[in-house]
A and B are shown apart, each in its own frame.
Chain A
Protein backbone atom coordinates (compact mmCIF):
# COMPACT_ATOMS: atom_id res chain seq x y z
CA UNK A 1 0.00 0.00 0.00
CA UNK A 2 1.31 3.45 -0.93
CA UNK A 3 2.48 5.77 1.83
CA UNK A 4 -0.03 8.40 0.70
CA UNK A 5 -2.88 5.86 1.06
CA UNK A 6 -1.61 4.92 4.53
CA UNK A 7 -1.55 8.60 5.49
CA UNK A 8 -5.12 9.06 4.22
CA UNK A 9 -6.29 6.02 6.18
CA UNK A 10 -4.68 7.48 9.29
CA UNK A 11 -6.64 10.68 8.71
CA UNK A 12 -9.87 8.73 8.16
CA UNK A 13 -9.31 6.88 11.43
CA UNK A 14 -8.62 10.10 13.31
CA UNK A 15 -11.75 11.85 12.05
CA UNK A 16 -13.92 8.76 12.62
CA UNK A 17 -12.51 8.59 16.18
CA UNK A 18 -13.70 12.15 16.81
CA UNK A 19 -17.17 11.27 15.51
CA UNK A 20 -17.21 8.07 17.58
CA UNK A 21 -16.32 9.93 20.77
CA UNK A 22 -19.40 12.09 20.25
CA UNK A 23 -21.67 9.25 19.06
CA UNK A 24 -20.75 6.89 21.94
CA UNK A 25 -21.42 9.67 24.44
CA UNK A 26 -24.84 10.52 22.98
CA UNK A 27 -25.67 6.79 22.68
CA UNK A 28 -24.78 6.04 26.33
CA UNK A 29 -26.55 9.12 27.70
CA UNK A 30 -29.68 8.20 25.70
CA UNK A 31 -29.59 4.62 27.04
CA UNK A 32 -29.16 5.79 30.65
CA UNK A 33 -31.95 8.34 30.24
CA UNK A 34 -34.36 5.81 28.70
CA UNK A 35 -33.61 3.11 31.27
CA UNK A 36 -34.01 5.46 34.24
CA UNK A 37 -37.38 6.48 32.84
CA UNK A 38 -38.27 2.78 32.95
CA UNK A 39 -39.10 2.51 29.27
CA UNK A 40 -39.52 -1.00 27.85
CA UNK A 41 -37.96 -2.10 24.54
CA UNK A 42 -41.31 -1.76 22.81
CA UNK A 43 -41.77 1.76 24.18
CA UNK A 44 -38.28 2.75 23.03
CA UNK A 45 -38.90 1.36 19.53
CA UNK A 46 -42.22 3.20 19.39
CA UNK A 47 -40.28 6.42 19.88
CA UNK A 48 -37.43 5.67 17.44
CA UNK A 49 -39.52 4.29 14.56
CA UNK A 50 -40.25 6.96 12.03
CA UNK A 51 -37.96 9.37 13.89
CA UNK A 52 -35.64 10.67 11.17
CA UNK A 53 -33.06 12.22 13.53
CA UNK A 54 -32.56 8.83 15.24
CA UNK A 55 -32.00 7.21 11.84
CA UNK A 56 -29.49 9.88 10.75
CA UNK A 57 -27.64 9.72 14.10
CA UNK A 58 -27.24 5.93 14.01
CA UNK A 59 -26.38 6.00 10.31
CA UNK A 60 -23.43 8.33 11.12
CA UNK A 61 -22.53 6.12 14.11
CA UNK A 62 -22.44 2.97 11.95
CA UNK A 63 -20.46 4.76 9.25
CA UNK A 64 -17.84 5.87 11.79
CA UNK A 65 -17.50 2.30 13.11
CA UNK A 66 -17.18 0.94 9.57
CA UNK A 67 -14.34 3.37 8.82
CA UNK A 68 -12.63 3.20 12.22
CA UNK A 69 -12.64 -0.46 13.23
CA UNK A 70 -10.98 -2.13 10.21
CA UNK A 71 -8.08 0.38 10.22
CA UNK A 72 -7.50 -0.30 13.92
CA UNK A 73 -7.77 -4.08 13.40
CA UNK A 74 -5.14 -3.78 10.64
CA UNK A 75 -2.72 -2.17 13.13
CA UNK A 76 -3.32 -4.98 15.66
CA UNK A 77 -2.89 -7.68 13.01
CA UNK A 78 0.31 -6.11 11.67
CA UNK A 79 1.95 -5.31 14.97
CA UNK A 80 0.85 -8.13 17.26
CA UNK A 81 0.23 -11.00 14.83
CA UNK A 82 2.74 -10.07 12.09
CA UNK A 83 -0.10 -10.53 9.59
CA UNK A 84 0.37 -8.22 6.61
CA UNK A 85 -0.34 -7.95 2.90
CA UNK A 86 -3.11 -9.06 0.59
CA UNK A 87 -4.69 -11.76 2.77
CA UNK A 88 -5.07 -9.24 5.61
CA UNK A 89 -6.63 -6.66 3.27
CA UNK A 90 -9.16 -9.20 2.00
CA UNK A 91 -10.03 -10.29 5.55
CA UNK A 92 -10.52 -6.66 6.58
CA UNK A 93 -12.68 -5.97 3.53
CA UNK A 94 -14.94 -8.81 4.72
CA UNK A 95 -15.01 -7.31 8.24
CA UNK A 96 -15.94 -3.94 6.70
CA UNK A 97 -18.78 -5.51 4.71
CA UNK A 98 -20.01 -7.42 7.77
CA UNK A 99 -20.01 -4.27 9.93
CA UNK A 100 -21.81 -2.32 7.20
CA UNK A 101 -24.54 -4.94 6.72
CA UNK A 102 -25.09 -5.61 10.44
CA UNK A 103 -24.93 -1.92 11.33
CA UNK A 104 -27.30 -0.72 8.65
CA UNK A 105 -29.70 -3.61 9.39
CA UNK A 106 -29.80 -2.43 13.01
CA UNK A 107 -30.46 1.17 11.94
CA UNK A 108 -33.24 -0.11 9.67
CA UNK A 109 -34.70 -2.08 12.57
CA UNK A 110 -34.76 0.98 14.83
CA UNK A 111 -36.20 3.28 12.15
CA UNK A 112 -38.54 1.08 10.09
CA UNK A 113 -39.00 -2.18 11.95
Chain B
Protein backbone atom coordinates (compact mmCIF):
# COMPACT_ATOMS: atom_id res chain seq x y z
CA UNK B 1 0.00 0.00 0.00
CA UNK B 2 1.26 3.45 -0.88
CA UNK B 3 1.87 5.65 2.14
CA UNK B 4 -0.69 8.39 2.73
CA UNK B 5 1.90 11.16 2.71
CA UNK B 6 2.90 10.34 -0.87
CA UNK B 7 -0.59 10.81 -2.22
CA UNK B 8 -2.39 14.07 -2.81
CA UNK B 9 -5.53 14.53 -0.74
CA UNK B 10 -8.70 13.94 -2.71
CA UNK B 11 -10.82 17.00 -3.38
CA UNK B 12 -14.50 16.22 -2.85
CA UNK B 13 -17.62 18.32 -3.39
CA UNK B 14 -20.78 17.05 -1.73
CA UNK B 15 -24.33 18.35 -2.15
CA UNK B 16 -25.58 19.75 1.17
CA UNK B 17 -29.18 20.73 1.82
CA UNK B 18 -32.51 19.70 0.33
CA UNK B 19 -34.00 20.65 -3.06
CA UNK B 20 -32.34 24.02 -2.38
CA UNK B 21 -28.73 23.63 -1.39
CA UNK B 22 -25.16 23.88 -2.59
CA UNK B 23 -22.00 21.85 -3.04
CA UNK B 24 -19.56 21.99 -0.12
CA UNK B 25 -15.87 21.21 -0.61
CA UNK B 26 -13.93 18.73 1.55
CA UNK B 27 -10.49 17.17 1.45
CA UNK B 28 -10.18 13.47 2.14
CA UNK B 29 -6.99 11.37 2.43
CA UNK B 30 -6.52 9.08 -0.56
CA UNK B 31 -6.21 5.35 0.10
CA UNK B 32 -5.51 2.43 -2.16
CA UNK B 33 -8.68 0.64 -3.38
CA UNK B 34 -10.80 3.41 -1.89
CA UNK B 35 -14.49 3.29 -2.79
CA UNK B 36 -16.68 6.38 -3.21
CA UNK B 37 -18.71 5.18 -0.24
CA UNK B 38 -15.49 5.11 1.83
CA UNK B 39 -15.03 8.79 0.99
CA UNK B 40 -18.57 9.71 2.08
CA UNK B 41 -18.15 7.70 5.28
CA UNK B 42 -14.85 9.47 6.02
CA UNK B 43 -16.50 12.87 5.58
CA UNK B 44 -19.35 11.96 7.94
CA UNK B 45 -17.19 10.31 10.61
CA UNK B 46 -14.20 12.66 10.57
CA UNK B 47 -15.24 16.00 9.08
CA UNK B 48 -18.97 16.64 9.44
CA UNK B 49 -21.25 14.24 11.34
CA UNK B 50 -24.36 16.06 10.08
CA UNK B 51 -23.92 14.64 6.54
CA UNK B 52 -26.84 12.38 5.59
CA UNK B 53 -26.47 9.43 3.23
CA UNK B 54 -27.74 5.89 2.90
CA UNK B 55 -25.86 2.62 2.85
CA UNK B 56 -26.24 -0.84 4.23
CA UNK B 57 -24.40 -3.89 2.90
CA UNK B 58 -21.28 -2.23 1.37
CA UNK B 59 -20.88 -5.15 -1.04
CA UNK B 60 -23.29 -4.37 -3.89
CA UNK B 61 -26.27 -6.39 -2.73
CA UNK B 62 -28.71 -4.02 -1.04
CA UNK B 63 -28.99 -1.15 -3.53
CA UNK B 64 -29.02 1.59 -0.85
CA UNK B 65 -25.92 3.64 -1.61
CA UNK B 66 -26.52 4.83 -5.19
CA UNK B 67 -25.59 8.47 -5.78
CA UNK B 68 -24.70 10.76 -8.61
CA UNK B 69 -20.90 10.56 -8.95
CA UNK B 70 -19.47 13.29 -11.20
CA UNK B 71 -22.88 13.51 -12.87
CA UNK B 72 -23.34 9.79 -13.42
CA UNK B 73 -25.56 7.61 -11.21
CA UNK B 74 -23.51 4.77 -9.69
CA UNK B 75 -23.49 2.32 -6.79
CA UNK B 76 -20.91 4.00 -4.57
CA UNK B 77 -19.82 0.95 -2.54
CA UNK B 78 -18.43 -0.73 -5.64
CA UNK B 79 -17.16 2.31 -7.48
CA UNK B 80 -13.46 2.90 -6.91
CA UNK B 81 -12.38 6.51 -6.58
CA UNK B 82 -9.51 5.73 -8.98
CA UNK B 83 -12.03 4.64 -11.61
CA UNK B 84 -13.87 7.97 -11.65
CA UNK B 85 -11.09 10.47 -10.90
CA UNK B 86 -7.56 10.87 -12.15
CA UNK B 87 -5.09 11.65 -9.36
CA UNK B 88 -2.52 13.02 -11.79
CA UNK B 89 -5.01 15.63 -13.00
CA UNK B 90 -6.15 16.33 -9.41
CA UNK B 91 -9.77 15.64 -10.44
CA UNK B 92 -12.53 16.67 -8.07
CA UNK B 93 -15.00 14.01 -6.95
CA UNK B 94 -18.49 15.54 -7.09
CA UNK B 95 -21.21 13.71 -5.19
CA UNK B 96 -24.91 14.55 -5.46
CA UNK B 97 -28.15 12.75 -4.63
CA UNK B 98 -29.76 10.66 -7.40
CA UNK B 99 -31.58 12.65 -10.08
CA UNK B 100 -35.33 12.32 -10.77
CA UNK B 101 -36.09 11.81 -7.08
CA UNK B 102 -36.99 14.44 -4.42
CA UNK B 103 -34.06 15.23 -2.13
CA UNK B 104 -34.71 14.72 1.59
CA UNK B 105 -31.33 15.97 2.79
CA UNK B 106 -27.78 15.93 1.42
CA UNK B 107 -27.28 12.62 -0.42
CA UNK B 108 -30.55 11.07 0.71
CA UNK B 109 -33.50 10.97 -1.69
CA UNK B 110 -37.14 10.07 -1.14
CA UNK B 111 -37.56 6.79 -3.02
CA UNK B 112 -41.30 6.33 -2.26
CA UNK B 113 -42.44 7.16 -5.78
CA UNK B 114 -39.79 4.92 -7.29
CA UNK B 115 -41.14 1.92 -5.36
CA UNK B 116 -44.81 2.96 -5.69
CA UNK B 117 -44.28 2.64 -9.43
CA UNK B 118 -43.21 -1.00 -8.97
CA UNK B 119 -46.63 -1.60 -7.39
CA UNK B 120 -48.36 0.33 -10.20
CA UNK B 121 -46.60 -1.88 -12.75
CA UNK B 122 -48.11 -4.92 -10.94
CA UNK B 123 -44.68 -5.88 -9.69
CA UNK B 124 -46.11 -8.47 -7.30
CA UNK B 125 -46.39 -12.18 -8.08
CA UNK B 126 -49.91 -13.60 -8.32
CA UNK B 127 -49.89 -17.33 -7.83
CA UNK B 128 -52.64 -19.91 -8.16
CA UNK B 129 -51.27 -22.83 -6.12
CA UNK B 130 -51.88 -23.47 -2.43
CA UNK B 131 -49.59 -25.12 0.09
CA UNK B 132 -51.35 -28.42 -0.61
CA UNK B 133 -50.35 -28.42 -4.30
CA UNK B 134 -47.15 -29.83 -5.74
CA UNK B 135 -44.34 -27.42 -6.62
CA UNK B 136 -44.39 -25.96 -10.13
CA UNK B 137 -41.74 -27.33 -12.41
CA UNK B 138 -39.98 -24.57 -14.35
CA UNK B 139 -37.08 -25.89 -16.39
CA UNK B 140 -33.94 -23.72 -15.97
CA UNK B 141 -33.24 -23.85 -19.71
CA UNK B 142 -36.77 -22.97 -20.86
CA UNK B 143 -36.93 -19.72 -22.91
CA UNK B 144 -39.22 -18.02 -20.35
CA UNK B 145 -36.96 -18.90 -17.42
CA UNK B 146 -33.92 -17.58 -19.32
CA UNK B 147 -35.71 -14.25 -19.85
CA UNK B 148 -36.53 -14.12 -16.14
CA UNK B 149 -32.89 -14.87 -15.29
CA UNK B 150 -31.77 -11.90 -17.39
CA UNK B 151 -34.02 -9.52 -15.42
CA UNK B 152 -34.29 -10.97 -11.91
CA UNK B 153 -31.07 -9.71 -10.27
CA UNK B 154 -32.29 -6.13 -9.83
CA UNK B 155 -31.34 -4.72 -6.41
CA UNK B 156 -33.63 -1.67 -6.64
CA UNK B 157 -30.82 0.87 -6.38
CA UNK B 158 -32.55 3.44 -8.60
CA UNK B 159 -29.51 4.06 -10.84
CA UNK B 160 -31.55 3.34 -14.00
CA UNK B 161 -34.43 5.54 -12.84
CA UNK B 162 -32.09 8.44 -12.04
CA UNK B 163 -30.39 8.07 -15.44
CA UNK B 164 -33.58 7.94 -17.53
CA UNK B 165 -34.35 11.03 -19.65
CA UNK B 166 -37.92 9.86 -20.19
CA UNK B 167 -38.54 9.90 -16.41
CA UNK B 168 -37.31 13.50 -16.25
CA UNK B 169 -39.54 14.57 -19.16
CA UNK B 170 -42.58 12.56 -18.13
CA UNK B 171 -42.80 12.28 -14.32
CA UNK B 172 -45.65 9.73 -14.46
CA UNK B 173 -43.50 7.31 -16.51
CA UNK B 174 -43.09 4.06 -14.56
CA UNK B 175 -39.38 3.89 -15.32
CA UNK B 176 -36.92 1.13 -16.21
CA UNK B 177 -36.77 -0.68 -12.85
CA UNK B 178 -40.55 -1.11 -12.45
CA UNK B 179 -40.93 -2.18 -16.07
CA UNK B 180 -38.01 -4.60 -15.74
CA UNK B 181 -39.77 -6.11 -12.71
CA UNK B 182 -43.00 -6.41 -14.72
CA UNK B 183 -41.07 -8.08 -17.55
CA UNK B 184 -39.62 -10.70 -15.18
CA UNK B 185 -43.18 -11.52 -14.04
CA UNK B 186 -44.60 -11.51 -17.57
CA UNK B 187 -42.20 -14.37 -18.25
CA UNK B 188 -43.11 -16.21 -15.04
CA UNK B 189 -45.21 -19.13 -16.29
CA UNK B 190 -46.79 -19.55 -12.83
CA UNK B 191 -48.18 -16.01 -12.66
CA UNK B 192 -51.94 -15.61 -13.16
CA UNK B 193 -52.28 -11.83 -13.52
CA UNK B 194 -50.70 -11.41 -16.95
CA UNK B 195 -53.47 -9.42 -18.61
CA UNK B 196 -53.84 -7.05 -15.66
CA UNK B 197 -50.10 -6.50 -15.73
CA UNK B 198 -50.04 -5.70 -19.45
CA UNK B 199 -52.87 -3.21 -18.87
CA UNK B 200 -50.82 -1.54 -16.12
CA UNK B 201 -47.65 -1.21 -18.17
CA UNK B 202 -49.17 -0.25 -21.56
CA UNK B 203 -49.38 3.28 -22.86
CA UNK B 204 -47.71 6.65 -22.42
CA UNK B 205 -46.91 6.35 -18.72
CA UNK B 206 -45.72 2.78 -19.26
CA UNK B 207 -43.50 0.91 -21.66
CA UNK B 208 -44.64 2.75 -24.81
CA UNK B 209 -43.09 6.00 -23.55
CA UNK B 210 -39.56 4.51 -23.64
CA UNK B 211 -37.38 6.09 -26.36
CA UNK B 212 -34.81 3.28 -26.28
CA UNK B 213 -31.97 5.59 -25.25
CA UNK B 214 -30.53 2.54 -23.38
CA UNK B 215 -28.96 4.69 -20.64
CA UNK B 216 -30.58 2.37 -18.07
CA UNK B 217 -28.91 -0.67 -19.64
CA UNK B 218 -25.58 1.15 -19.88
CA UNK B 219 -25.57 2.23 -16.24
CA UNK B 220 -27.21 -0.74 -14.48
CA UNK B 221 -24.54 -1.92 -12.03
CA UNK B 222 -25.93 -5.46 -12.22
CA UNK B 223 -25.63 -5.61 -16.00
CA UNK B 224 -29.39 -5.94 -16.51
CA UNK B 225 -30.83 -4.56 -19.75
CA UNK B 226 -34.17 -2.97 -18.85
CA UNK B 227 -34.41 -1.64 -22.42
CA UNK B 228 -34.65 -5.18 -23.77
CA UNK B 229 -37.42 -6.06 -21.32
CA UNK B 230 -39.29 -2.83 -22.08
CA UNK B 231 -39.12 -3.65 -25.82
CA UNK B 232 -40.61 -7.05 -25.03
CA UNK B 233 -43.41 -5.41 -23.05
CA UNK B 234 -44.09 -2.95 -25.90
CA UNK B 235 -44.60 -5.79 -28.36
CA UNK B 236 -46.78 -7.90 -26.04
CA UNK B 237 -48.91 -4.95 -24.89
CA UNK B 238 -49.39 -3.55 -28.41
CA UNK B 239 -50.44 -6.97 -29.71
CA UNK B 240 -52.85 -7.39 -26.80
CA UNK B 241 -54.28 -3.92 -27.56
CA UNK B 242 -54.84 -4.82 -31.22
CA UNK B 243 -56.65 -8.01 -30.13
CA UNK B 244 -58.81 -5.90 -27.80
CA UNK B 245 -57.49 -7.61 -24.69
CA UNK B 246 -56.50 -4.38 -22.95
CA UNK B 247 -59.94 -2.76 -23.06
Binding site for B on A (CB under 8 A): 1-8, 10-11, 14, 78-80
Contact = CB atoms under 8 A, between A and B. Distances in A.
B234 A3 contact: no
B169 A6 contact: no
A80 B169 CA distance: 7
B170 A7 contact: no
Contact of B202 (A4, A79, A80): A4
Given A8-B238, A11-B241, A3 B169 contact: no
Given A10-B208, A10-B234, A11-B238, A3 B170 contact: no
Contact of A3 (B166, B203, B242): B203
B206 A79 contact: no
Given A2-B247, A78-B204, A7 B238 contact: yes
21 contacts: A3-B199, A3-B206, A3-B246, A4-B202, A4-B247, A5-B241, A6-B202, A6-B204, A6-B208, A7-B202, A7-B203, A7-B208, A7-B241, A8-B238, A8-B241, A10-B208, A11-B238, A11-B241, A14-B238, A79-B166, A79-B170
Given A3-B199, A8-B238, A11-B241, 18 more contacts: A3-B202, A3-B206, A3-B246, A4-B241, A4-B246, A4-B247, A6-B203, A6-B204, A7-B202, A7-B203, A7-B241, A10-B208, A11-B238, A78-B170, A78-B204, A79-B166, A79-B169, A79-B170
B201 to A, nearest CB: 9
B98 interface: no
A1 B234 CA distance: 17
Interface residues of B, number: 18
Nearest to B200: A3
Contacts of B202: 3-4, 6-7
A53 B211 CA distance: 35
Nearest to B236: A7
Interface string B218-247: 000000000000000010011011101011
